[in-house]
């Protein structure tokens, strides 16, 4: 029987070489069929481990499994969710992971031939892992620790729990979902089949991090109709949709952009702008942790567009909102013991808990919005969505320990 360390290491190395990059603006479910390659492997491995009710939804590409309760008393069914896809924004073909054993600090040569070096001065987080065994890439691709480090941990956890019946736990429900990176929001996760009464996603970065607060989010999609005229005779007639778009962008405060904000500060992010004199499209992401501030931001965008409509004509503008989610905070707050149990589980594993108001959304935001409280736990990766991504094997090992402590807490601490 493999140790937890060997189990997470071997699983992780085998998962990351499967290219599961998802695709923006998906036209299929899942967005890329190769996510099924990993889904089928996970289905097989869950069965081998002895997990019950293993099922692959071969339409929506969601993998399910259960570990039944081994205690008499009634304990809430706890779910763990991780996503199988990886970011489409970095090359993911031909991933060549390698393990730097007993890292002793200093720059890391990822690729001698191509002279790709990871420097400590750019990536000081390397220093947190001295003495650990770290999985790196060859500097030309993504690693995919986001979120395969989580999948490896959940699998090793399931294996350990099944082989150690002395660990007391309630029902444990597992789900692996597709397309998180492209806004899939675990929409095809079937709650009835999943069975969890509470759940955690594992999709944060370094070990010990957790979030029960995410952004409130939406995307303002503005269509601008201009009026093209020969530039030589345009005076007083032409309405350049590109210029009008720039005018709107300039109405967004410079101090409220992604690159000028941090922590709990919200922002406007004009992330897509495409057009000609005749017509243009401008997409602005709106983000804020605070509900009231979030609503104010939407009102501000409405006001900007209205102002432009007064200036250029009402029928030149179309504004709609899409791709939204709400912070999970309101849904999680009535169940704060989920966070207390988690913090105690992290501490018991000898890791420092690190609460992070997450500057993004997770599948857990959408899962919470559908009524199942679902905070986020770290997956253990560093520098996600980058060729300089890395995963310390000990971080995944710690995550397994945290999950074990967590399910034990639900038995030991839950009242009634």
Site string for Zn ion, 265-294 (x = CB under 5 A): ------------------------------
Let me know if 291 is a catalytic residue: no
Shortest spacing between CB 39 and Zn ion, in angstroms: 16
What is the rounded CA–CA span in Å between residue 358 and residue 231?
A: 48
Binding flag, residue 173, Zn ion (CB under 5 A)? no
Closest CB 85 distance from Zn ion, rounded Å: 8
Does the footprint of Zn ion cover residue 179 (CB under 5 A)?
A: no
Q: In the set 45, 85, 138, 146, which binds Zn ion (CB under 5 A)?
A: 146
Task: With CA atoms as reference, report the closest residue to 19 among 90, 85, 113.
Answer: 85
Q: Is 278 known to be catalytic?
A: no
Joined together, the tokens standing for residue 132 give: 């650990």
User: Measuring CA to CA, which residue among 395, 375, 374 is closest to residue 384?
Assistant: 395
Q: Looking at 47-55, 65-73, 195-203, 278-286, which segment touches Zn ion (CB under 5 A)?
A: 195-203
- 45 contacts Zn ion (rule: CB under 5 A): no
Annotated catalytic residue within 85, 147, 171, 181: 85
The C-alpha angle 266, 270, 276, rounded to 5 degrees, equals 165
Number of chain residues interacting with Zn ion (CB under 5 A): 3
**Region binding Zn ion by CB under 5 A among candidate stretches 94-102, 106-114, 145-153, 320-328:** 145-153
Q: What are the Cα distances from residue 205, in Å, to 38, 59, 245? A: 21, 30, 36
Report if residue 203 touches Zn ion, rule: CB under 5 A: yes
Task: Find out whether 324 and 218 touch, Cβ atoms under 8 Å.
Answer: yes
Spatial CA neighbour of 179 closest among 23, 39, 64: 23
C-alpha torsion sign, points 335, 340, 345, 351: positive
Binding range to Zn ion, per CB under 5 A, among 44-52, 130-138, 144-152, 407-415: 144-152
d(CA 343, CA 354): 9
Choice between 66 and 387, CB closer to Zn ion: 387
CB of 11 to Zn ion, least distance (A): 17
Q: What's the rounded Cα separation, in Å, for the pair 232 and 240?
A: 14
Segment interacting with Zn ion, rule: CB under 5 A, options 60-68, 138-146, 288-296, 313-321: 138-146
Under rule CB under 5 A, residue 147 binds Zn ion: yes
State in angstroms the smallest separation of the CB of 383 from Zn ion.
13
For the chain, what percentages of helix, strand and coil (3-state, to nearest 5) are there?
Answer: 35, 25, 40
Q: What angle do CA 197, 201, 205 make, to 5 degrees?
A: 155
The residues binding Zn ion (CB under 5 A) are: 146-147, 203
Catalytic residues: 85, 180
């Amino acid at each position: 029987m493999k140790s937890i360390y060997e189990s997470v290491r071997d699983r992780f190395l085998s998962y990351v070489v499967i290219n599961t990059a998802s695709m923006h603006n998906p036209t299929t479910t899942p967005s890329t069929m190769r996510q099924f390659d990993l889904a089928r492997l996970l289905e097989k491995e869950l069965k081998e481990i002895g997990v019950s009710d293993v099922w692959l939804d071969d339409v929506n590409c969601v993998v399910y499994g259960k570990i039944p309760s081994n205690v008499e008393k009634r304990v809430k069914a706890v779910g763990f969710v991780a996503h199988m896809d990886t970011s489409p924004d970095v090359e993911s073909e031909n991933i060549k992971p390698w393990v730097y054993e007993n890292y002793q600090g200093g720059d890391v040569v990822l690729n001698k031939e191509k002279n790709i070096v990871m420097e400590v001065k750019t990536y000081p987080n390397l220093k947190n892992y001295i003495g650990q065994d770290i999985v790196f890439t060859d500097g030309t691709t993504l690693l995919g620790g986001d979120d395969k480090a989580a999948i490896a941990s959940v699998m090793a956890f399931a294996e350990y729990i099944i082989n150690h019946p002395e660990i007391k736990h309630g029902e444990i429900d597992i789900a692996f979902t597709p397309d998180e990176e492209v806004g899939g929001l675990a929409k095809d996760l079937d709650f009835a089949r999943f069975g969890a009464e509470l759940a955690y996603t594992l999709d944060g970065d370094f070990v010990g991090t957790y979030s029960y607060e995410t952004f409130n989010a939406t995307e303002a999609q503005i269509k601008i109709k201009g009026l093209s005229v020969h530039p030589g005779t345009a005076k007083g007639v032409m309405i350049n949709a590109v210029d009008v778009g720039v005018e709107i962008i300039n109405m967004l405060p410079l101090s409220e952009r992604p690159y000028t904000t941090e922590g709990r500060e919200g922002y406007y992010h004009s992330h897509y702008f495409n057009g000609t004199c005749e017509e243009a499209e401008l997409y602005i992401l709106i983000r804020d942790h605070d509900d009231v501030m979030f609503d104010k931001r939407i009102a501000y965008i409405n006001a900007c567009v209205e102002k432009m409509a007064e200036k250029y004509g009402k029928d030149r503008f179309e504004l709609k909102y899409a791709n939204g989610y709400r912070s999970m905070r309101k849904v999680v707050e009535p169940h704060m013991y989920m966070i207390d149990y988690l913090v105690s589980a992290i501490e018991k594993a000898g890791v420092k808990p690190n609460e992070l108001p997450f500057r993004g959304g997770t599948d857990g935001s959408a899962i919470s919005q559908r009524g199942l409280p679902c905070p986020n736990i770290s997956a253990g990766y560093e520098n996600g969505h980058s060729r300089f991504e890395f995963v310390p094997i000990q971080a995944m090992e710690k995550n397994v320990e945290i999950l074990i402590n967590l399910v034990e807490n639900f038995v030991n601490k839950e009242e009634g």
